[in-house]
Amino acid sequence: MTEPVPVIRKLEHALADDDFAWSLVLTGEDQTDKLATLTGDLRGPFSTTGDGKQITSGFSYWGIGPTIAWANATNDPFYLVMKAGAESFQRHWRKVRPHVENGGFHVVSLGVGTGVKDRTIVGDLRRQNRNMYYIPVDMSSEMLRMGTQPVRDARFPVAQLLPVQLDFSIADNMEELAEMLARLVGDEPILFTLTGNTLANFDSDEELLGTLTQGLRAQDRLLLEVASTTRLDQETADAAADEYHQTRAFAEFVTSALRYNTDLKINNELVKFVGEVEDDDALLVKILWQNDTGDEVRMELPDHTEVVLPIGDTIRLYTTRKYSTTRLKRLTEACKLTPVEAIQSQFRYTRRPNPFGLELLLLAPEAAGESARSLADDIWAT
Q: Which of 40, 77, 44, 61 is nearest to 256 (CA)?
A: 61
φ, ψ for residue 341, nearest 5 deg? -155, 150
Average pLDDT, the chain: 89
CA atoms within 13 A on the CB side of 243: 28
Radius of gyration over every alpha carbon of the chain, rounded to an integer in angstroms:
21
CB burial of residue 266 (10 Å; 0-12, 13-18, 19+): middle
Q: Specify whether the CB–CB gap between 34 and 62 falls below 8 A.
A: yes
Per-residue pLDDT at 379: 66
In this prediction, the residues of the chain whose per-residue pLDDT falls under 70 are 1-9, 17-19, 348-352, 367-382
The whole-angstrom separation of Cα 156 and Cα 146 is: 15
Per-residue pLDDT at 350: 57
Per-residue pLDDT at 347: 77
The whole-angstrom separation of Cα 7 and Cα 156 is: 18
Per-residue pLDDT at 261: 93
Per-residue pLDDT at 374: 56
Q: Specify whether the CB–CB gap between 137 and 109 falls below 8 A.
A: yes
Task: Give the model confidence (pLDDT) of 78-124 as tens digits.
Answer: 777 777 777 789 899 999 999 999 989 999 999 998 899 999 999 99
φ, ψ for residue 62, nearest 5 deg? -85, 120
- Kindly report whether the global pTM for this prediction surpasses the value 0.75: yes
CA atoms within 13 A on the CB side of 370: 0
Per-residue pLDDT at 86: 77
Alpha-carbon distances of 353 from 142, 230, 349, rounded to whole Å:
39, 11, 10
C-beta neighbour count of 66 within 10 angstroms: 26
The whole-angstrom separation of Cα 292 and Cα 269 is: 9
- The one-letter amino acid at 132: M
Q: Specify whether the CB–CB gap between 307 and 341 falls below 8 A.
A: no
